Amino acid sequence: MNVLFLTQTSALGPSSRYRVYQLLPLLQQLGIESVVSPAIDDALYRQLYLDSNGRGSRVAALTTAWRKRRADLRRMEQFDAVFVQKGVFPGLYAGFERAIASRKPMVFDFDDAIWLPRVGGSKLLRLLHRESAVQNIMRRAAAVIAGNDFLAEYATRFNQNVTVILSSINVAAYRRTDNNSNVVGWIGSRTTLAYLKPLAPVFKQLGVKPRVIASGDPSQLEFEIEFRPWRLETEMEELAQIGIGIAPLPDTEWERGKCGVKILQYMACGIPVVASPVGVQSRFVQHGVTGFLAGNAAEWAEHVRELIDNLELRKKMGTAAREVAAREYGVANAAQKVASVLKSVVAA
């Protein structure tokens, strides 16, 4: 079976990397030959998301994506199915997906609440956003893959063939952390740095300077951190130096749609996690086993302090976290589910 994967970005983008690129070798073993066409390549991704000033033009990105997708439409006949990762222009325009679905079985995969205007994104894209475009894509798809139950609940309003495939992780690719480290760390992006701001009083109370691995301008946080610019080439080495992983999230509709990749990264490294009990994070973190769920500032301070002070607890929880990640959220299981969905729409 030959499948065209239309991804939002190159492998530099976490959503495309975890929802598509890491699955491709395993999908090949399952009989699926893949061609991947990213809307945003490495060079443009660096300009848009990794440069400290974000100097890349959103208009240029949309123009580039438009040209690429027109070229992709001209080669549809080479493939048995098309896998659309998060949409060509999610919330803006569904014309490409309509054209694809009229010619080939289309599987639509999404891991954010894309029917909502993007939080922290471009003002232009928020202004142009139309929920009806997302609904149109879902109606046209032969099958929809949702990254969590919250997203699936929305998708089933428009498509009855919806499969939940949670975020997955290749645990073997991650180096175990040195649990002797009690460094409190967070990994994220320029658009999610703001999630750390509510924890500023907690960091001050504990005398902690968190290590932040991210792109963007860290001065927006307005409190003292140890900043490490995110790079794909150094990501695993940076993660392995963290002793305690944190994942704060506000409890809003947009955040309930998030799919918790950073938590799986911590777990794969054997890092205990302290996280907000929001969305899928409550599922990934087993409270008191692989880490702690913290619903308010007092609980954040209590649980982070407990892990800082207790080396044996860090080791115990970190070991449990890595075992759970491998057993329940391994990439092989996700690949098998994706392959099953693709084969079912082609056979239909």
Burial class (CB in 10 A: 0-12, 13-18, 19+), 19: buried
Same domain? For 242 and 190 the reply is: yes
Same domain? For 34 and 150 the reply is: yes
Ranges 57-71, 119-133, 295-309: which has the least confidence? 119-133
Residues in the chain: 348
Task: Give the number of domains in the chain.
Answer: 2
At residue 53 the predicted structure's pLDDT band, cuts being 50, 70 and 90, is low
- Whether residue 56 has pLDDT greater than 90: no
Show the domain range for 255: 171-328
Ranges 162-171, 193-202, 212-221: which has the least confidence? 212-221
Same domain? For 285 and 338 the reply is: no
Same domain? For 189 and 46 the reply is: no
Dihedral sign for Cα 286, 287, 289, 292, please.
positive
Decide if 113 contacts 34 (C-beta within 8 A).
Answer: no
Burial class (CB in 10 A: 0-12, 13-18, 19+), 113: buried
Task: Write out the two tokens for 6.
Answer: 């239309």
Same domain? For 199 and 268 the reply is: yes
Same domain? For 205 and 141 the reply is: no
Residue 317's pLDDT is 97
Same domain? For 147 and 214 the reply is: no
At residue 121 the predicted structure's pLDDT band, cuts being 50, 70 and 90, is low
Average pLDDT, the chain: 94
Same domain? For 57 and 195 the reply is: no
Matching residue, tokens 């609440």: 113
Decide if 259 contacts 16 (C-beta within 8 A).
Answer: no
At residue 38 the predicted structure's pLDDT band, cuts being 50, 70 and 90, is very high
Same domain? For 322 and 340 the reply is: no
Q: pTM of the predicted model, to two decimals? A: 0.94
Q: Name residues whose C-beta falls within 8 Å of residue 239's C-beta, 6 or more positions apart in sequence.
A: 174, 175, 177, 185, 187, 213, 265, 266, 269, 271
34: domain CATH number is 3.40.50.2000
Q: How many CB atoms lie within 10 A of CB 182?
A: 16
- The percent of residues above 70 in pLDDT, for the chain, comes to 97
pLDDT digits 0-9 by tens, 233-291: 999 999 999 999 999 999 999 999 999 999 999 999 999 999 999 999 999 999 999 99
- Whether residue 55 has pLDDT greater than 80: no
Distance, CA of 163 to CA of 152 (rounded, Å): 7
Same domain? For 184 and 301 the reply is: yes
Matching residue, tokens 């998030």: 258
Q: Name residues whose C-beta falls within 8 Å of residue 207's C-beta, 6 or more positions apart in sequence.
A: none
Matching residue, tokens 């929880």: 317
pLDDT digits 0-9 by tens, 156-188: 999 999 999 999 999 999 988 876 889 999 999
Residue 222's pLDDT is 87
Give the CA distances from residue 224 to residues 108, 207, 208, 212, 336, in Å, rounded to whole numbers and listed in that order. 41, 10, 9, 10, 44
Same domain? For 233 and 90 the reply is: no
Decide if 260 contacts 279 (C-beta within 8 A).
Answer: yes
Same domain? For 157 and 224 the reply is: no
Q: Name residues whose C-beta falls within 8 Å of residue 62's C-beta, 6 or more positions apart in sequence.
A: 89
Distance, CA of 283 to CA of 286 (rounded, Å): 7
Q: How many CB atoms lie within 10 A of CB 53?
A: 8
